[in-house]
Amino acid sequence: MRRTVRFGVALALPVALAATGIAVAGEHGRGQVPRTTERVARQVLGPHDGWAALGPGTTGGSAAADEHVYVVRDYAGLRAALEGGRDNDTPKIVLVDGRIDADTDDQGAPIGCADYADPGYDFDAYLAAYDPAVWGWDEEPSGPLEEARERSYRNQADQAVFEVGSNTTLIGVGDDAALVGAQMMVDGVDNVIVRNISFETAQDCFPQWDPTDGEAGNWNSEFDGVSVRRSTHVWIDHNEFGDGDVLDRDLPEYFGREYQVHDGLLDITHGSDLVTVSYNHLRDHDKTMLIGSTDSPAYDVGRLRVTLHHNKWENVLQRAPRVRYGQVHAYNNHYVIPATPEGEKTYQYSWGVGVESRLYAENNYFDIDPGVDRSDVVAHWKGVRMYESGSHANGRSARNRVSFLEEYNAVNTPLIEGQAGWEPELHDRIDPTRAVPAQVRKAGVGRIL
């Protein structure tokens, strides 16, 4: 359901959804949404603003009736407002007021890893059982302890993961709206807008050890900040994404490998399509954005069309983004790349050229540490082509122009062809590269409300 809604009608906020028996948690008062908040909450994506504008465009919950506009101030209230998850396609606007912590029960009391742990799970016993000196390197963990770890993870997922239905706008109020310890799942839906929220990723309490992952094994975790799967017409705008107070550099090591409790910040996978990601700030993270999660052509061919513009990528190690299959237009982004973004860890790459990907990068600005090899900005992940133009590094004048693709090709094989095989047509004004840092200062929360 999509229709244009005129701004200017005051919206009454219900204390509870008595007709359906759902109490929206938090201390709501019946009253009116301020006119500015109402206007921004009902905004729709512009008609030329990237891939998500294709066809009917992206309008989110702009058509929501008064009784489907909610202000939420705690996690129970958020889940109540979104009741039905992907099956609830009623147009709705959910305004996030303040900091909402997913690690709380329905009464607002804090809960944590010990509450999610299955009775059969013991971390010290897990380490002892799957130590490579005991278990070996050739098989993934199995048996009662691994099964208990999986059940523990499922317990946490039941709490941390919340679903959003079609025709929804989720928007923060003011400059302090935050979702902490949650994973927002946009799965199998259409027409979703997410704006003005700080996402602090969930910490996986129960990472899995996999000795077969890479040459030295790895700890793998499951939770993203936002996960877009099997969905279309999604606009993600003016948000912030990071790991909060628990950074990778602070994590311990087991079996000589970092005990990784974070996954992605914002992943777009499983055949999703027509997504615009604009004016977001992504920071202090390792595997940041994945567009396409498998080399298999099962469901991604002809999809994964994504626009990335005016985002700030600061202190991120890799996947900014890593692309498979999709036609991805990345323009006017600002990259800040120190030599050691995560303290002990080092920068890996920004643009990952994956299987059958068609990355089109133009007028992006880089503040890149002199200690970083510029040929590392582009990484080959079985892809054969990308287009790049207008990149600048460490300055706004003509002498600061650089081609990171040429830098890659100068020292690597196989070579990556310099044509993407398509040319973006659906976009707003593309700023000159010298203007990008100033424009991208508008990214993040607190800029639109």
3-state secondary structure of 66: helix
* Strand partners for 278: 237, 309
List the pLDDT tens digit at each of the 449 positions of the chain.
443 332 222 233 333 333 322 233 333 433 457 889 989 999 999 999 999 999 999 999 999 999 999 999 999 999 999 999 999 999 999 999 999 999 999 999 999 999 999 999 999 999 999 999 999 999 999 999 999 999 999 999 999 999 999 999 999 999 999 999 999 999 999 999 999 999 999 999 999 999 999 999 999 999 999 999 999 999 999 999 999 888 887 889 999 999 999 999 999 999 999 999 999 999 999 999 999 999 998 889 999 999 999 999 999 999 999 999 999 999 999 999 998 765 567 899 999 999 999 999 999 999 999 999 999 999 999 999 999 999 999 999 999 999 999 999 999 999 999 999 999 999 999 999 999 999 999 999 999 98
Catalytic residue among 79, 283, 305, 319: 319
What is the residue whose two structure tokens read 């059958």? Answer: 356
Which tokens go with 8?
């200017």
* CATH T-level topology, domain 35-55+161-440: Pectate Lyase C-like (2.160.20)
Q: Where are the domains of the chain?
A: 35-55+161-440
User: What's the confidence (pLDDT) of residue 29?
Assistant: 38
pTM (predicted TM-score)? 0.92
Annotate 198-244 with DSSP letters as a single string: EEEEPPPSSPEEETTSSSS-EEE----SEEEES-EEEEEES-EEE-T
Helices and strands, counts by H and E, the chain: 8, 30
Alpha-carbon distance 299 to 304, whole Å? Answer: 10
Residue 319 annotated among the catalytic residues of the structure:
yes
* Strand partners for 358: 327
